Structure 1
Amino acid sequence: MTPQNIEKFDEIAGKIFAALYESFPVARKLDAKEFVEGGFDAAYFVQERTGLHLRTKEGDFFESTIVWLTAAGYIQGVSKEREPRPHDIILTPKGLEVLKAVPGSLTNSPTLGERMLGATKAGGKEVMRAAVKEALSLGIKMTVGG
C-alpha cells in the first residue's frame, strides 16, 4: 500500500502539472488554496495578533511539493523584471516533454498532461496518481539517459 503522503504528493503534483500544461507557455501563479483539498481554509490560517495569512500543514505540504518539482527539474520559477524572487511558475523543457509523452505503445491515447488535466476536471484521483507516477518515472529515465 502506498503511504498517504506519497498519494497526497501525487495528487497535488498532478494538479500542478495539469494547471501548468493548460497554461503553457504562459507562466502562472500557483497558490496552495487552489491545489489542496479544502481550499483557502485548509491551506492558510489568519494569525489573530497580526492578521497575516500563514500556511497550515497542508499549505506547507503544497510548498514542499513545489520545491521538490523544481529541484527535480520539472518546473521553474520565473522572476518579474522588478521582483527579486520567482512569483510565477512554468514547465521546464523536461516537464513539458514528459507531459507531452503518450504512455505505452498506444499512439492515439491522450498524453500524460491531457490525462492529468482530465483527471483534475473529473476529480479522478486514481487516474491522477497513476499519470504522475508514469510522468516521474519517464522523467527519471530521461535524466539518466534510459
Structure 2
Amino acid sequence: MYQTVFLEDVYMPSNMERFDQLTGAIFARLYETFPEPVKLDDRPFLDLIAPDGQDLEVQSSQAFYAPEFFVHTVRWLAQTGYLTYTANQRDEYLIQDCVLTAKGLEVLKATPDSLGGKTLGSQLQDAAEAGLIDTVKSLAGKALGVGASMTYTAASSWLQNQ
C-alpha cells in the first residue's frame, strides 16, 4: 500500500535555518580549537546542510550543493569579521587556517543573562556535541546578534567622535 506525501508535510529547512545551524557548528568548532587554526571542509557538516527527514529530491539537491553552501557561509562569516581563513589553491571547497578573529572570540565569550553565566561559545560546544540542532541554531542567532550589536555600537561611537 502506497502513501501520498504532500510537500507541506515534509520538513524542509530554509536557507536561513541551515545557515544558522552551520554557523553555530562552525563557531563551536573554532571556539573549541582557539587559538589554533584548523582545516575545515563540508563533510562533517553535511547533516546540517542537507538534513534527513525531508523530501529526498530536495535533500539530494542540498547535498549536491553542500560544498558551495559551506564555502558561501564561511566566506560571509569572514567578510563580516567573525573569522579568517586561507583559501586552498587546489580545492576551493577546503578551508585552511580557519580561526576566530578578535570579534568572533569576543562574541563567543559573551555571557548573556539568558544563558545562566555560561558563554555563548561553551553553550554552542555543548549543544553541538549533544546534537541539539535547534539549540545550535538559536545560539548562532544570538551570537550573530551580539556581533551586530557590537558593530553598531562601535560605529555609533566612531560617528560621535567625528
What TM-score comes out, normalization by structure 2 length? 0.69
Indicate conservation of the 8 Å contact 1:12/1:36, yes or no. no
Partner of 2:138: 130
Cα offset for 1:9? 0.4
C-alpha distance in 1 between matches for 2:48 and 2:21: 14
Report the equivalent of 1:58.
66
The CA deviation at 1:137 is: 0.5
Deviations 1:22-74 (A, max 9, x none): 000001001111112189xxxxxxxxxxxxxxx93111111110011001100
**Residue 158 of structure 2 aligns with which residue?**
none
The answer on whether the counterparts of 2:21 and 2:48 sit within 8 Å (CA) in structure 1 is no
Please give the root-mean-square deviation of Cα atoms over the aligned residues, in Å: 2.4
Measured after TM superposition, the shift of residue 78 of structure 1 is: 4.8
The match for 1:100 is 109
Q: Assess if the C-alpha contact under 8 Å between 2:107 and 2:120 holds in 1.
A: yes
1:118 to 116, 126, 129: 126
Is 1:28 matched with 2:38?
A: yes
Structure 1 runs not aligned, ≥5 long: 40-54, 80-85
Query: How far apart, in 1, do the equivalents of 2:18 and 2:47 lie?
Result: 10
Map of 1:142 onto structure 2: 150
Which residue does 2:26 correspond to in 1? 16
**Equivalent pairs, count:** 123
Unaligned runs of 5+ in 2: 1-12, 50-62, 88-94, 155-162
Q: 1:24, 1:105 → 2: CA distance? A: 24
Displacement of 1:126 in angstroms is 1.2
Q: Which residue of 2 aligns with 1:72?
A: 80
The answer (yes or no) to whether the contact 1:18–1:117 under 8 Å persists in 2 is yes
Moved over 2 A (4+): none
> What amino acid is aligned across from residue 65 of structure 2 in structure 1?
K
Structure 1 partner of 2:99: 90
Partner Cα distance (1:18, 1:56) in 2: 24
Which structure carries more helix by proportion? 2
